[in-house]
Amino acid sequence: MSKEKAHLDVWMKKIAPSDELRQWFNHEPEKWEEFQKRYSKELAAKPDLLNQIRRAEKEKGVVTLVYSARDIEHNNAIALEKQLEKK
């Protein structure tokens, strides 16, 4: 689905995992725990983006995180959601 068809308010490409991390993970479930740790470190360097998502949730009541992985249990949106819930 394209960004236009999804009718997204914001496209936050910079909050995605680095290409290096994404390629290392390669959607291999056995790497999931380590992926989450590494992605958490990357997100720690992006507090403004995390806070932008939190503000949007407060203002709109809901935020939808989208992803392109086929695995609905092991993807960056799930890891991002866990980070957002920590504060």
The string of pLDDT tens digits covering residues 66-77 is 888 888 899 999
6-35 pLDDT, tens digit each: 777 888 889 999 999 999 999 999 999 999
pLDDT at 43: 96
pLDDT of residue 67: 84
CB 48 within 8 A of CB 27: no
Q: Are 85 and 50 in contact (CB under 8 A)?
A: no
pLDDT value of residue 8: 78
Question: Which pLDDT does position 5 carry in this prediction?
Answer: 78
pLDDT in tens, 46-58: 999 999 999 999 9
